[in-house]
């Protein structure tokens, strides 16, 4: 039991670190006040599907803390908590939809899509809320703050979600055993 717990903690730390590394592999980023399209969410979703929502949330939380340490736009203490530790932690809730048991017979493509979309929606809500409160002043003249925040945040989160879905499905298709925790036996077909 103790060894399994240590293994899970090591996986969480590794995946949080991998998330940070993948956050530096960005696709074109024209956003002035943060936001980019990267693979940062992939490890968080993988650990959530492999180890469950609690491990996924912890991985996301650590990723958010590391994002702060490696450079973050901070305008208010609540904003930085909302947009970094919380926004990445909620991604782990995707583990409520997919578990390693779903990979026993086939790749659960539909469940992966639902889980990633749900986690990304929660992250969007965090960034959208921060945009309403702290970044509304950047809305162009005549554009309502609600519209500005929604469009701004969706402009990078929707493409990032689609890329993340593609990558996670690709990994699960060719390496479904990756989603098992070592105690499960699975032979790749």
For residue range 159-187, what is the model confidence (pLDDT) as tens digits?
999 999 999 999 999 988 888 754 444 33
Count CB-CB contacts under 10 A for residue 90. 25
So where are the chain's domains?
A: 2-27+35-179
Count CB-CB contacts under 10 A for residue 54. 14
Q: What is the pTM of this model?
A: 0.89
Quick one: tokens of 29? 């980023």
Topology classification of domain 2-27+35-179: Arp2/3 complex 21 kDa subunit ARPC3 (1.10.1760)
- Close Cβ partners of 100 (under 8 Å, ≥ 6 residues apart): 49, 50, 51, 179, 180, 181, 184
Quick one: tokens of 43? 């490890």
Q: How far is residue 130's CA from residue 142's CA, in Å, rounded to a whole number?
A: 20
- How does residue 35 score in pLDDT terms, banded at 50, 70 and 90? low
Q: Look at residue 34 in the predicted model and tell me its pLDDT.
A: 60
Of 29-38, 116-125, 134-143, minimum mean pLDDT range: 29-38
């Amino acid at each position: 039991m103790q060894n399994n717990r240590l293994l899970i903690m090591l996986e969480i730390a590794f995946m949080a670190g991998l998330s940070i590394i993948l956050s530096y592999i960005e696709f074109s980023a024209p956003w002035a006040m943060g936001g980019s399209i990267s693979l940062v969410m992939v490890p968080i979703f993988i650990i959530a599907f492999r180890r469950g929502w609690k491990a996924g949330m912890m991985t996301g939380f650590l990723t958010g803390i590391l994002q702060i340490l490696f450079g973050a736009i901070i305008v208010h203490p609540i904003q930085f908590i909302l947009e970094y530790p919380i926004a990445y932690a909620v991604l782990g809730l995707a583990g409520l939809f997919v578990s390693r048991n779903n990979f026993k017979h086939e790749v659960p493509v539909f469940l992966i899509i639902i889980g990633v979309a749900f986690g990304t929606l929660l992250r969007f809500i965090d960034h959208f809320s921060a945009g309403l409160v702290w970044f509304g002043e950047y809305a162009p003249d005549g554009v309502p703050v609600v519209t500005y925040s929604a469009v701004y945040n969706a402009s990078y989160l929707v493409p990032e979600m689609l890329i993340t879905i593609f990558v996670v499905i690709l990994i699960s298709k060719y390496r479904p055993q990756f989603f098992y925790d070592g105690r499960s036996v699975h032979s790749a077909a």
